[in-house]
Amino acid sequence: MKLVVSVLYVIASSSLVRGQSCNPPGGGVGECISILRCPSLAALVSKPTRTQEEVNLLRGASCGFERTTPKVCCPATCSTPEGMEGQCVDIYQCGHLASMLKPPVPMEVKQYVQKFRCNGPSRYSVCCGPAPTTPASGVEVGNCENRVFALPPDPRTRCCGVDSNGANKPIRGDIDKAEINEYPWLVIIEYSKDNKIKLLCGGTLISSRYVLTAGHCVSGKILALGTPKNVRLGEYDTTNDGQDCVDVGGGQDCNDPVLIVPIERYFSHPEYNLWSKKNDIALIRLRQNAPFTDFIRPLCLPTTDVAGRSSSFNMTTAGWGAVDDDIVSSSAIKLHVQLPFVEIQQCQAALTKLRPPPNLWEKQICAGGQKDRGSCKGDSGGPLMLENVDERRYELVGVISFVSLPCGVENIPGVYTKVFAYKSWINSAIQKDASNS
């Protein structure tokens, strides 16, 4: 950090502060912010050697100081097609995209790059985010055990959202026991108080290092019951500390013993509101990387917004929550159920029966509303999943936020945080958190 300040002090010493709005060297609109909040320019400072062109870029971007930290005119942020946070710049300032356009350029590469277009400083502006780990014309599929990253995997790699046998199985409409190797991304959060462990919330493994859960699972009233301490990976039967086995076709199918990983830290969305239940989403960082096995692997982040679908469809939720009116007792076995998608307007009208009635917004989705079926107490923070039939994988559509009590009341859907609306936050928060580790 001292090196960053000393290098930029000389570069920025002659600059003047002109307010928060500014014009980056490449044109367009930017914001005068701390160099530490501008990844593209901070990366230049961190380089052991810089070209004269890069030095000129830093000098042209300087716009003052924030105490002793240099400020730069950082290009406006945007979201890449993969949901990564980027900056809208001329394509020739985005090395990994520009390199793809060296002739001859296959048509699929042209189509891939066009997806990054944004309203920026030139007619050839793109949303420049982190460089992809594989070429656009041929994404490497498989080899997941050796591709352990903090960021969520690219769904095209087949390293997320797929059961160990490579095909997901249809389920019945009623609440039922899941297969022992189904939903290997499903986790349980352990809470500790007075040297006792409680299982109060679920979550979803979305990368080797991070679990996505609800904001109310890591802040607010729940902390009076216990502090999030560990995450259970590869769990099936919570009453058994060893290997779980189920009878299958005259034989037995067994999983690996549950893996309990300590929680390094956790944080909810900065705008999470306990009372309105808006932005009810949070990330948990594990103290160690989760392995990629038949019983532990991540779930894909969504590639599309399900709220834009024109036809009716079902989604799936799973967990160890309560299964009847006795909401004190949770299920010991991993359960799953299919739930119909409910339009937000229809859901809002149905929830006027609750006291007080919630005020829903576009970053929430609803599912369920059928008697004796749906999420319940203890399922909070767990996933609402949609199977991409063509790609034969599941995607994380929602995070269980709140349901009516008693659970499974007819015509009263459950409410879920819409993950698609938070993809940029998820990826940028992971990048920022991982860089601070």
Which positions are catalytic?
A: 216, 280, 380
- CA separation for the pair 437, 155 (Å, rounded): 26
Find, among 280, 260, 276, the residue nearest to 268 by Cα. 280
Burial category of 47 from C-beta neighbours within 10 Å (exposed 0-12, middle 13-18, buried 19 and up)? exposed
Asked whether 243 and 257 are in contact (CB, 8 A), the reply is yes
Cis bond leading into 24, ω under 30°?
Answer: no
Q: Please give the structure tokens belonging to residue 393.
A: 């994988």
- CA separation for the pair 423, 151 (Å, rounded): 11
The owner of tokens 């001329």 is: 90
The owner of tokens 């499903």 is: 186
Gap between the terminal Cα atoms of the chain: 14
Residue 62, strand partner residues: 72
* 242, amino acid identity: G
* 74, amino acid identity: C
Asked whether 59 and 11 are in contact (CB, 8 A), the reply is yes
